[in-house]
């Protein structure tokens, strides 16, 4: 079911509360909501899944534009945990969600991190966001009747046809997203704000870490996942179906991977 709580800045946020048992927080990626997580979530008997609609996503309000940041959304997650009155046994997320739980892990005690297709590294390199910059420019400068054609003519977009075709579909869908202008605000944040977590925080993390990587994904480079896994002392790497795989094969590979990662929690 979906529930609502109010963050400390009075922004109303939605979250998924699914199942019962040990509490796991798993955050969706950029432009998505809880459905992205449910689409690949295995059937568990004894796990309670919580997924916050990141502000500006899903059914959550954006809040003040000037305050939009990683820091603000990590605070939202910490406040949601206080609202639930229960500490999670694991924190996980995909893409933007992975970055959020990485930072949250420096603020709350947790013994297990799951970083699926991370999009943010430690060196501040944002080359993987170059099509976001193209999208911003198109939306700001062109009438919406020309958006798709202009995107498909962009060299940065065309290059993905060979290296990461699934990414092309992601960008096409964004142009028709019901919250496109809120996502534009997020694109600006993503392009200027680096992770505040330090390499020393990662190297001192003593909990279990599972990193999920995908080949042929330009937005979530596999090398980035492998580099993060090298920094965490107790990290294990999992490989899912590549960016050339059809949707059903991709989803099944993620589902099987998540089952292996979380199965030991699924006991009465």
82 and 52 Cβ atoms separated by less than 8 Å:
no
Question: What average pLDDT does the structure give for the chain?
Answer: 94
Residue in this structure with the two tokens 């997020």, named with its chain if needed: 186
Instruction: Give the number of other Cβ atoms within 10 Å of residue 141's Cβ.
Output: 9
Q: How far apart are CA 91 and CA 104, in angstroms?
A: 9
Domain that holds residue 87: 2-124+194-265
Question: Do 47 and 164 lie in a common domain?
Answer: no
- Per DSSP bridges, beta strands 12-18 and 22-27 are unpaired
Report whether pLDDT(127) > 90: no
Question: Do 6 and 111 lie in a common domain?
Answer: yes
Question: Do 174 and 237 lie in a common domain?
Answer: no
The total domain count for the chain is: 2
Question: Do 67 and 90 lie in a common domain?
Answer: yes
Residue in this structure with the two tokens 């958006």, named with its chain if needed: 147
Question: Do 134 and 97 lie in a common domain?
Answer: no
Report whether pLDDT(195) > 90: no
Task: Report pLDDT for 88.
Answer: 97
Report whether pLDDT(77) > 90: yes
pLDDT tens for residues 17-68? 999 999 999 999 999 999 999 999 999 999 999 999 999 999 999 999 999 9
Report whether pLDDT(190) > 90: no
- How is 86-132 classified by DSSP, letter by letter? S--SEEEEETHHHHHHHHHTTTS--SEEEEES----SS---GGGHHH
User: Of 141, 167, 185, at which residue does a domain stop?
Assistant: 185
User: Of 153, 185, 217, at which residue does a domain stop?
Assistant: 185
Task: Report pLDDT for 122.
Answer: 82
pLDDT band at 268 (very low <50, low <70, confident <90, very high): low
DSSP state of 246: -
Question: Do 133 and 212 lie in a common domain?
Answer: no
Report whether pLDDT(191) > 90: no
pLDDT band at 267 (very low <50, low <70, confident <90, very high): confident
For the record, the structure tokens of 142 come out as: 């062109």
Question: Do 170 and 198 lie in a common domain?
Answer: no
Q: How far apart are CA 15 and CA 53, in angstroms?
A: 5
What is the average pLDDT across 76-96?
Answer: 97
Question: Do 143 and 251 lie in a common domain?
Answer: no
Report whether pLDDT(123) > 80: no
Question: Do 28 and 60 lie in a common domain?
Answer: yes
Question: Do 135 and 261 lie in a common domain?
Answer: no
Question: Do 101 and 135 lie in a common domain?
Answer: no
- Per DSSP bridges, beta strands 12-18 and 2-6 are antiparallel
């Amino acid at each position: 079911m979906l529930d609502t709580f109010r963050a400390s800045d009075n922004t109303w946020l939605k979250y998924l509360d699914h199942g019962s048992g040990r509490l796991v927080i798993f955050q969706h990626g950029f432009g998505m909501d809880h459905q992205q997580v449910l689409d690949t979530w295995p059937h568990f008997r004894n796990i309670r899944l919580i997924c916050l609609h990141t502000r500006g996503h899903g059914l959550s309000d954006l809040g003040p534009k000037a305050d939009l940041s990683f820091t603000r959304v990590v605070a939202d997650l910490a406040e949601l945990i206080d609202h639930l009155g229960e500490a999670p046994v694991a924190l996980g997320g995909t893409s933007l969600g992975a970055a959020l739980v990485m930072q949250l892990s420096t603020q709350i005690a947790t013994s297990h991190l799951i970083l699926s297709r991370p999009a943010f590294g430690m060196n501040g390199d944002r080359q993987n966001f170059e099509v976001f910059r193209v999208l911003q420019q198109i939306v700001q400068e062109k009438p919406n009747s020309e958006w798709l054609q202009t995107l498909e003519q962009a060299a940065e977009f065309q290059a993905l046809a060979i290296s990461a075709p699934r990414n092309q579909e992601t960008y096409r869908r964004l142009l028709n997203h019901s919250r496109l202008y809120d996502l534009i605000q997020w694109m600006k944040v993503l392009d200027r704000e680096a992770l505040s977590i330090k390499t020393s925080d990662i190297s001192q993390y003593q909990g279990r870490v599972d990193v999920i990587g995908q080949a042929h994904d330009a937005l979530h480079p596999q090398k980035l996942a492998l580099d993060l896994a090298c920094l965490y002392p107790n990290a294990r790497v999992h490989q899912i179906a590549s960016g050339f795989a059809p949707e059903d094969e991709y989803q099944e590979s993620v589902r099987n991977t998540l089952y292996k990662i979380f199965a030991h929690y699924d006991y009465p």
